[in-house]
Structure 1
Amino acid sequence: MALGWDDLAAAALARQFPDDPGTVAEQVRAIGAMQTQTARSAFIGLGARFPGVSHAAISEAYDRGEIVRGSTIRGTVHTATPETYTVLAEATRVGQHQRWARMLGITDEQIADLWASVEDHAREWRSPDDLREHARRWLAEHAPASAGVVDDGPARHVALTHGGLVRRPASGDRWEGQGTPVYGTFHPTGPATLADVVALHLRAHGPASRQDVGWWAGLPLRAVEEGIAGLEVVEHEGPGGRAYVDLPHAPPPRDLPGVRLLPEFDALLCGYDSKARDRFVTPEHHRRLWSESNGMLLPPLLVDGRITGHWRAGGTARRRPMEVTWFARTRRPRRAELEQPVAALETALGITVTEVGITRESV
């Protein structure tokens, strides 16, 4: 059966906006890993999907380790349950080992040994500077020619972005804040395979092309094919001549009428190949939302299952105004439609929105 963009969107909405399963951990497990470079994104994303989930409940789930946060696939920060994070760590090992080895000028075996050393060092919570210094000392002993590479540039993150660590706020900070974190060793819940990586993506984002899975997981297409080979899948023809794979017995597609306030790096965008995100946004609007120069995304406005604008409630004050912007030639969100998503945002993020402005933007 051939699928169009609307078919793909409806299938993905059923997975990203399921019935509320109960606890915060169950909610996060249901929708898969959440990209959370911006720490508040986990709070906003859960509030948009499960209105009524509270800031306290999400914070407590982090505190108890029922959900964890750290740098994994593509070197990006994700929030997930420990079981899901275990799968992300496997994707990171396959997708990032050779990249880091090339960057540092060392062998694959040496990068594995370096990361094992970092994990052993982080059995107590460590600051980023402490971990960088540990990596520099390890390289000075085992690969002296590469020791200076970690002093600046992308290689300075080598100790922080391999999936073997989780992060938490430094003492006194809040989980939604952007303060300097500390890092500790992550303990996997069991073995994971490339088939697990592909299955995780399809459960949360499917149907998906091989390019979608590869972009999301930071894997080469040969690794994606290896993962697919370990699964029972169904395959459909889709837009752009790409084949789209899915797990059997997927949930039925759904519509999503009304308005949602999504976080930066939401899965409706970041779950898919950056060159083929048409299921939720037009290429023209995508260019407005995503800055290729720094990789940042504006928080998207979702109207009737399509991303048609963006919003802002900037600053760190507990009371702040909000501005909602919709793109010309799309449906204007009605003020009454914003009451429920704004209330969900307030509850999840622990803020009060003092006023809401609505603005039209020509793109």
Structure 2
Amino acid sequence: MPATRVRLTSAVTPKVMGRLRLASQGLLGQGFASVPDAVRWMTAMQAQDLGSALWAVGQRVPGSAASDVRGALDAGTVVRSWPMRGTLHLLAPEDLRWILDITSGRLMNMVAGRHRELDITPEDISQCRDIALKTVEALNAVDARPGATREQLFQAFEEAGQVTKAQRGIHLIGSLCQRAWLVQGPMADSGGKPGAQQLFVPFDAWIENSRDLGREEGIAELLFRYVRSHGPATVKDFAWWSQVPLTEARKALASVQDRLVELDFGGTSYWLSPETAAMLDDGVPGSRSMLALPGFDEYLLGYQDRSLVLAPEHAELVVPGKNGVFKRIMVAGGEVVGTWARTGNGKALGVVPEPFTGELGPATQRSFQAQGRAYLKFMAG
């Protein structure tokens, strides 16, 4: 059965397309009931910076607190690992293994040159696997600790003659995680305060139930879930996001397009769920919405082409010098209109807007301040 195809009228603008994405991502309306629900819907949420990832989830789970996200990591109902693009993501535990089966081979090929520079061989990785598992077992026997910190693994590697300097150690740990031997588990103890690091734990001990999907079936599911949670999006957006080769992505699209809607916008085919597309009939909500999203949020990062929501002339204000570090963004009515920053610390912690042009209007300023208060309450909770 062919996909439903929608030709958009001139009334549909890039801002409307942006608001459709906000809706798909649970950023308009009621959001999700729990942290695991939000993460499972998004399939994989960029989480290289943990503080940003906490707020990314918080924006999608009304009434939640940072402690709820940390609690989900502690309980294993959400996991954090390197499933794609060599960067950390939050995922539902049952999804990690089958996604790694799809993505890890290509990622290993991409880092092969760097591993040669670091003198990392397959034998080194196998040795470090054995060292890591023995280290965790020993710590567990002493104080019932379920895993090891990065520093404890580095120390064990060094004692066995495996150099960890110059990023060699983190590449070794990453390789163990990408092969589903280790995964990041509960938060590490930091003297009674919320920690910024997690313990590394044996994959099979932490994730007892994993889905089993073949490559073709898995890519089709990954594409469908990406479009459902990120649409409107193109097949090239998905191929960039997942690092699935474009030929395989297009084949997967052909197998799931009967469950999706195709939008022809500006001569390009965008895909989205029927539920999101139905909003076009009654008017897409959120025209007056203002969101203070974290750096690296999927709303901006999750697409190869970000020009629908971020004007190209402002791109370097979000990613200065194209250094890969995304600043926090303000999104008004589906458009990225500026960045925002934290000021002060402790009880004096606050937030300030940094609009791209001019100043925020009174109503937008009030909405931003409400978002700032929500952020501060969330992070303190």
TM-score grouping bracket, smaller chain normalisation: 0.7 to 0.9
Residue 8 in structure 1 maps to residue 29 in structure 2: no
Structure with more helix by fraction? 2
2:299 is aligned with 1:272: no
Aligned positions, number:
336
1:243–1:330 distance in 2 versus 1, CA, 3 Å: farther
Structure 2 portions without partners, runs of 5+:
1-5, 137-146
Inter-partner Cα distance in structure 2 for 1:38 and 1:47 = 14
CA drift of 1:322 comes to: 1.8
Query: Does 2:333 match 1:304?
Result: yes
5 Å-filtered alignment, 1:332-343, equals: 332=361, 334-343=364-373
Secondary structure at 1:49 match in 2: coil
**Structure ID, larger Rg:** 2
Q: Give the CA RMSD over aligned residues.
A: 3.6
The AA in structure 2 aligned to 1:237 is: D
SS of the equivalent of 2:323 reads coil
Alignment correspondent of 2:377 = 347
5+ residue gaps, structure 1, are: 141-146, 352-363
Is the Cα contact below 8 Å between 2:341 and 2:352 reproduced in 1?
A: yes
Task: Output the CA distance in 2 between the equivalents of 1:6 and 1:288.
Answer: 19
Deviation at 1:238, TM superposition (A): 3.5
Percentage of matched positions with identical amino acids:
22
Question: 1:200 & 1:95 partners in 2: Cα distance?
Answer: 21
Partner of 2:63: 52
* One-letter amino acid matched to 1:128: R
2:278 to 252, 261, 264: 252
Equivalent in the alignment of 2:248: 223
Please point out which of 86, 90, 95 is paired with 1:75: 86
- In the alignment, which residue of structure 1 is the partner of 2:144? none
Secondary structure in structure 1 of the residue aligned to 2:64: coil
- Against the structure 1 CA distance between its residues 235 and 288, is the aligned structure 2 distance closer, same or farther, given a 3 Å change threshold? same
1:328 CA drift (Å) = 1.0
User: Residue 173 of structure 1: CA displacement?
Assistant: 6.5
Residue 228 (structure 2) aligns with: 203
Closer, same or farther in 2 for the Cα pair 1:245/1:15, shift >3 Å? closer
Q: Determine the C-alpha separation between the residues in 2 that align with 1:197 and 1:175.
A: 36
Q: Describe the SS at the equivalent of 2:189.
A: coil
Distance 1:213 1:230 in 2: 15
TM-score, structure 2 normalization: 0.74
Report what 1:183 is aligned to.
200
Secondary structure of 2:271's counterpart equals strand
Contact 1:237/1:243, CA 8 A, preserved across alignment? yes
Whether 1:237 aligns to 2:264 is yes
TM-score, normalised to structure 1, is: 0.77
Task: List aligned pairs for 1:306-325, cutoff 5 A.
Answer: 306-314=335-343, 317=346, 319-325=348-354
Cα offset for 1:262?
Answer: 0.4
